[in-house]
Structure 1
Amino acid sequence: MSHIDDPIQQGLQRGWRVLGGPHGPTPTTLSCDVAIVGSGAGAGITAELLTKAGLQVVIVEEGPLKSSRDFRQRESEAYPSLYQESAARKTADKAINILQGRCVGGSTTVNWTSSFRTPVDTLAHWQSQFGLAEMTAAAMTPWFEQAERRLSIGPWLAAPNQNNELLRTGAAKLGIPAAAIQRNVKGCWNLGSCGMGCPTNAKQSMLVTTLPAALDGGATLLVQMRAERLESRDGVVRALHCVPVSDNSAATGAAGVRITAKHYVVAGGAINSPALLLRSGAPDPHGLVGKRTFLHPVVISAASFADPVNGWDGAPQTLYTDHFLQTQPLTGPIGYKLEAPPLHPVIFASTLAGYGRAQAEMLAEFPRTHSLLALMRDGFHPQSPGGAVALRGDGSPVLDYPLNDFVMDGARRAFLSMAEIQFAAGARSVVPVHERAGPTTSWAEARRQIEALAMKPLLTRVVSAHVMGGCPMAGSEAQGVVRPDGTHWQLANLSVHDGSLFPTSIGANPQLSVYGLATMLATRLAKRLTGAEVTLA
């Protein structure tokens, strides 16, 4: 696809100030108005708005700068270069695999484009339980609308691929509604490889929208540069210390950079943002940093059909059902959203259970395999406190996320719901992704198997691509790391602008929630710092 315009290469040729890695040496000191850690959803929105306000911005990204010419629809290239820990980041007990971006644009570069506003009941819970009185659905609507316009978020008008259509078919036969998912795309080619970076620049990620706008406005981008620690004194951050890293995030040993700024924005994503505050010894009088980190734990059901499904072909996620969220009290037993994830060989083979002949037989069925995932809404019940981010001996983060009986009860119910839908859609066989499960050929057989399964960590395959919390915002410092305006309760010139702000999970794919919240926080931060009124283009 060499004929596709590459806005990143064009920007570099125009003279963007990009340093680090292959882009040239970095100075040992830098000064600016605002230093931003990360380049994903919250960081990208913030960088564009603050640059538009006339502020000198430096963006620090641990991962590499890749562009459409590098996105060749190959898992073997994409996962090591674009994801945290080669798409194999795991919780402390290795029971949950976490997909999280590690590149310029962060997870927005590699996500599947699903765009949902923060659910109204989630916002209401935050208002009543965390003192976020201003976060009503009406108050947030203009911020979501601004982000949606900027990022071309709208309905997907093409027909769903077969993987998604089977979700609708099975759900409809059971009287369960399934609706369309909005996507942040423009001129999409319907290739299906969103998780490996968009080779046509159709996905309106931070990589091709807000970051180019910020760089055109004079921002500086440091790549392959890890924010190691914040230096603070007397309630103010004095400097950000960064170290250069190689392609696999190991420190190179080369001289680091000390960045001084008037204001600092941490937007490295949940897990990495709390880890930075922990490494920095930032004030944490109530022991909240890194606690209540949420994942939307996901379990998967695989089904085999007589006709090809070709789950890799076409837009990856275009239909969903919230039936099992809306029929469950928010603070009751854990509810779950159902979606149909894309299927690619490496992720398929490494996620499904089994080995040897059993795995070979399952791989032979790959073109006829359909999958559903259940995204569990954690954080609303006392038995769903999420996990905790801690530091390993080398300072790298690790998330401890206990899969307790409360969560596993939701996983069992989700397996049942997905199997019933798949059989209703005409599946020949269904298998929950669990080490001790085998294919079943009827709904009755599937139900008996699922009800008898031992729902334990490591036996039940659990994955997640949504990481939230760990630096929660709240109306009081006893409940939150940051204030409702995103500013750290104890450090006056430090803000957090990413998914780590969420006091609970949200019960939906989180990118638009981050976009809308960051638009609000960054617009107001720009006003405080400069007096300027700015909006997203």
Structure 2
Amino acid sequence: MSRQPDPVREGLARGWRVLGGPHGALPGRVECDVAIVGSGAGAGITAELLTQAGLRVVLVEEGPLRSSTDFHQRESEAYPTLYQESAARKTADKAINILQGRCVGGSTTVNWTSSFRTPQSTLDHWRDRFGLSDFSSDVLAPWFQQAERRLNVGTWLMPPNENNELLRRGAARLGITAPMIQRNVKGCWDLGSCGMGCPTNAKQSMLVTTIPAALERGASLLVQTRVQELVMKGGRIEALRCVPVQLDGRLASGSEVQIVAQHYVVAGGAINSPALLMRSGLPDPHSLLGRRTFLHPVVISAALFEQAVEGWKGAPQTIYTDHFLETQPIDGAIGYKLEAPPIHPVIFASTLPGYGQAQADLLAEFPKTHSLLALLRDGFHEQSAGGRVTLRSDGSPVLDYPLTDFVMDGARRAFLSMAEIQFAAGAKVVLPVHEMAQRYTSWAQAREAIAALPIKPLLTRVVSAHVMGGCGMAGDDKRGVVRPDGVHWQVANLSVHDGSIFPTSIGANPQLSIYGIVNRLATALAKQLSGRDVTLA
């Protein structure tokens, strides 16, 4: 593969203001108009709009600055350098593995590009239960349109890879609609390694769009720098207290940094954002901070086919079905969205059950393996109240997420749905990813066996790449941590601009929800702070 130009390295050569790690020692004190914690979906949109308004912006990112030159399509390189806890972040009981980005661009640098607007049913629930009366599809449409235009969100025009085509084929034979997924790409090479960083800069992540735009306008970026505390005085934030960290997150040599701003935006992602507010002792009069944190808990079904599937090739997610969401009342039994994830060796081997000869047999059939995942729509029922972020003794965050019987009932139904689709698509064997599951060779056999499986935490393999909530947004301070405009209910010069503000899960891959909603919030903040009208360009 010929190497493409690297806009990040070109920007650094032009003199972008980037410090930390290999980019130079951190200053002892920085003054600016707005300090932004994080550099992912919410931070990137906010940075572009605020710098467009002429404001002096500093972004602080705990992870490293990596760019297309560094992306070699190798899991062994990507997971330790681009993900939280080397792609092995887990809930308190180790029952759920969580994939979250930890690099410039955050999870947008390593996600699979799936782009969905916030479903109307989700927005209706927010209006009815959380007082978000001004959040509707009509109101949000222009904000989504701007984000989609800016980030080149559109229909994927190439044929699905076989892994996704099997979802479409099996669903069609059962009379289930399975449309195409929109993707935020431009000139995509169809490589399939989106989760390891895009080596051709086709993925329109914050790394190659909004962050460079902000840096071109004079923003500063501090990398490998952790915000330890929001320093509060007199009911306002007066500074960020930051420390340098190594690639693995351990403290690095060097002095603390103090960042003084007029306004502060926390956009470190769900789990990290509420944890920062907790470490800082911010007001939490109704004990809401860190609670109602959602994951779209995911269960997986593997299947073996006669033909090659080669799930590592081609665009990773291009087909989905909402059949099992749309046929389920939003506040009834938990519904789920089905997608076909990419299959790469390390993730495959570390996720599937078994060991020894049994695992060796599975790995030998890797090229003919297909997988489906079910995203469980949590947060809409009293028995699906999500999890709670707390702090360890060293101040690092951990999420306690109970997998209730209500949630696990959804997991069982999802296993059944996925197995039926896979057999309809022609699978010769289906293997639910569960420690006690066997290789089932017919739909009748799988249906009976899955109905009898103990669907319990740790026996059932549960993963997630979507973290939402913990700093929920609501129309009053008894139901939310932040106001509908993203400003903290008790701290006037603090906003939260990331997925942690969602009062439930989205019920769809959340990146476009963050882009569209934060576009609206950040545009209003830019006007408030500068008096200038800005538009995401």
Pair in the same fold by TM > 0.5: yes
Secondary structure (helix, strand or coil) at the match of 1:495 reads strand
8 Å CA contact retained: 1:473, 1:483: yes
- Distance apart, 1:362 and its partner CA: 0.4
Equivalent position of 1:135 in the other structure: 135
8 Å CA contact retained: 2:388, 2:470: yes
Equivalent position of 2:519 in the other structure: 519
Equivalent position of 1:299 in the other structure: 299
Q: Distance in 1 between matches of 2:506 and 2:105?
A: 22
- Distance apart, 1:235 and its partner CA: 1.5
Q: Deviations over 1:422-474 (max 9, x none)?
A: 00000000010000001000000001110110111000000000000000010
Q: Distance in 2 between matches of 1:439 and 1:241?
A: 53
Equivalent position of 1:432 in the other structure: 432
Secondary structure (helix, strand or coil) at the match of 1:399 reads strand
Secondary structure (helix, strand or coil) at the match of 2:314 reads coil
- Matched AA of 1:6: D
Equivalent position of 1:477 in the other structure: 477
Equivalent position of 1:33 in the other structure: 33
8 Å CA contact retained: 2:266, 2:494: yes
8 Å CA contact retained: 1:300, 1:373: yes
* 2:391 is aligned with 1:391: yes
Secondary structure (helix, strand or coil) at the match of 1:207 reads coil
* Identity rate, percent: 74
Equivalent position of 1:366 in the other structure: 366
1:78-157 matches, cutoff 5 A: 78-157=78-157
- Distance apart, 1:253 and its partner CA: 4.1
* 2:264 is aligned with 1:248: no
8 Å CA contact retained: 1:317, 1:339: yes
Q: Distance in 2 between matches of 1:454 and 1:363?
A: 25
Q: Distance in 1 between matches of 2:135 and 2:232?
A: 30
Secondary structure (helix, strand or coil) at the match of 1:206 reads coil
Equivalent position of 1:167 in the other structure: 167
Secondary structure (helix, strand or coil) at the match of 1:86 reads helix
Q: Deviations over 1:165-202 (max 9, x none)?
A: 00000000000000000000000000000000000000
* 2:345 is aligned with 1:345: yes
Equivalent position of 1:489 in the other structure: 489
1:173-322 matches, cutoff 5 A: 173-322=173-322
Equivalent position of 1:406 in the other structure: 406
Q: Distance in 2 between matches of 1:122 and 1:348?
A: 32
Equivalent position of 1:59 in the other structure: 59
- Distance apart, 1:291 and its partner CA: 0.2
- Matched AA of 2:143: W
Secondary structure (helix, strand or coil) at the match of 2:484 reads coil
Secondary structure (helix, strand or coil) at the match of 2:207 reads helix
Q: Distance in 1 between matches of 2:282 and 2:355?
A: 46
Q: Distance in 1 between matches of 2:341 and 2:2?
A: 28
Q: Distance in 2 between matches of 1:477 and 1:131?
A: 11
- Distance apart, 1:61 and its partner CA: 0.1
Equivalent position of 2:44 in the other structure: 44
8 Å CA contact retained: 2:3, 2:69: no
Q: Distance in 1 between matches of 2:383 and 2:418?
A: 24
Q: Distance in 2 between matches of 1:397 and 1:26?
A: 25
RMSD (Å), alpha carbons = 0.5
8 Å CA contact retained: 2:3, 2:200: no
- Distance apart, 1:254 and its partner CA: 2.0
Equivalent position of 1:463 in the other structure: 463
Q: Distance in 2 between matches of 1:235 and 1:481?
A: 15
Any stretches of 5+ residues in structure 1 without a counterpart? none
- Distance apart, 1:3 and its partner CA: 3.4
8 Å CA contact retained: 2:236, 2:493: yes
Q: Distance in 2 between matches of 1:492 and 1:235?
A: 8
- Distance apart, 1:2 and its partner CA: 5.5
- Distance apart, 1:251 and its partner CA: 1.1
Q: Distance in 2 between matches of 1:229 and 1:443?
A: 54
Equivalent position of 1:449 in the other structure: 449
- Distance apart, 1:121 and its partner CA: 0.5
Secondary structure (helix, strand or coil) at the match of 1:208 reads coil
TM-score by length of 1: 1.00
Q: Distance in 2 between matches of 1:442 and 1:241?
A: 59
TM-score by length of 2: 1.00
8 Å CA contact retained: 1:2, 1:69: no
Q: Distance in 1 between matches of 2:457 and 2:251?
A: 33
Secondary structure (helix, strand or coil) at the match of 1:258 reads strand
Q: Distance in 2 between matches of 1:176 and 1:359?
A: 33
- Distance apart, 1:509 and its partner CA: 0.2
* 2:79 is aligned with 1:75: no
Equivalent position of 1:423 in the other structure: 423
Secondary structure (helix, strand or coil) at the match of 1:179 reads coil
* 2:340 is aligned with 1:333: no
Q: Distance in 2 between matches of 1:253 and 1:263?
A: 29
8 Å CA contact retained: 1:389, 1:397: yes
Q: Which runs of 4+ in 1 moved over 6 A?
A: none
- Matched AA of 1:114: S
8 Å CA contact retained: 1:301, 1:432: yes
Q: Distance in 2 between matches of 1:252 and 1:393?
A: 19
Q: Distance in 1 between matches of 2:43 and 2:353?
A: 37
